[in-house]
């Protein structure tokens, strides 16, 4: 089992040319595999489980040489319930930086509207805001709702070890809504429109133009009651 970094590594920064096979180069002498997938953490199952005793059904043939996503909640729970031993990975600055980044971007679950919500001072007339936070200058966005957007952003950033040089979340988009329910509905509509860009709960990876388009459409849809 492995945790994947979301930035590619340059293979030749990690492996010396002398350690490579001549078949790794084309006729012109160019290396065929310039980029590598980064494993930031890895675990070994002990004892090794049998797939047929762990998952509810057999995986498709594509899983033999490729990737098959496991979506059944009971299967996901069964995998995480297995006993594991963490494997020591090489000490590389690039891996350590991505490991810290993954920790900072760990999935969180957005709150549903309640009598309190996230607030410093109670809003007038039940108003609330839908917000869009951006992680540094990256195309990584966090969508949510709050009654105090700046306070919410500050709270989220408290979990990021900025002393390690990591970027922070910043408020880029905010839309005032006339109720907490409306703010939550807009949050959910934005996430629905960007469903194919979602990386977990409230987080999406997309361009600024894509987030702007979804934001505007979501506001119109909520106002029209769609």
Residues of the chain below pLDDT 50: 107-125
pLDDT of residue 119: 39
Return the pLDDT at 62: 73
Q: What angle do CA 24, 91, 93 make, to 5 degrees?
A: 85
Provide the pairing of β-strand 84-87 with 140-146.
Answer: unpaired
Block residue for tokens 């069964």: 78
pLDDT for the residue 106: 55
Distances (CA, A) of 217 to 99, 110, 183, 184, 210: 35, 21, 14, 15, 11
The pLDDT score that the predictor gives to residue 126 is 74
- pLDDT for res 124: 40
| pLDDT for residue 215 | 93
pLDDT at 200: 66
Q: Which residues does 153 contact at the CB level (< 8 Å), separation at least 6? A: 131, 133, 169, 170, 171
**Taking the model in full, what pTM does it have?**
0.49
CA 73, distance to chain mean position in Å, is 18
């Amino acid at each position: 089992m492995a945790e994947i970094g979301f930035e590619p590594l340059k293979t030749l920064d990690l492996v010396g040319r002398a350690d490579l096979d001549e078949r790794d180069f084309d006729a012109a002498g160019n290396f065929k595999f310039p980029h590598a997938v980064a494993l930031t953490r890895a675990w070994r199952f002990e004892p090794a489980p049998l797939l047929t005793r762990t998952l509810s059904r057999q995986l498709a043939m594509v899983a033999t040489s490729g990737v098959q996503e496991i979506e059944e909640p009971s299967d996901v729970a069964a995998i995480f319930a297995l006993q594991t031993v963490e494997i020591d990975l090489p000490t590389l600055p690039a891996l350590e930086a991505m490991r810290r980044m993954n920790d900072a971007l760990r999935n969180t679950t957005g709150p549903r509207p309640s009598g309190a919500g996230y607030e410093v001072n109670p809003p007038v007339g039940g108003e609330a805001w839908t917000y869009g936070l951006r992680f540094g200058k990256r195309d990584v966005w966090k969508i949510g709702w709050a009654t105090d957007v700046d306070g919410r952003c500050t709270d989220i950033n408290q979990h990021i070890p900025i002393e390690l040089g990591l970027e922070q979340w910043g408020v880029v988009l905010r839309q005032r809504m006339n109720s907490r329910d409306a703010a939550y509905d807009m949050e959910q509509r934005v996430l629905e429109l960007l469903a194919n860009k979602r990386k977990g709960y409230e987080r999406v990876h997309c361009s600024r133009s894509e987030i702007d388009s979804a934001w505007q459409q979501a506001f119109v849809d909520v106002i029209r009651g769609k």
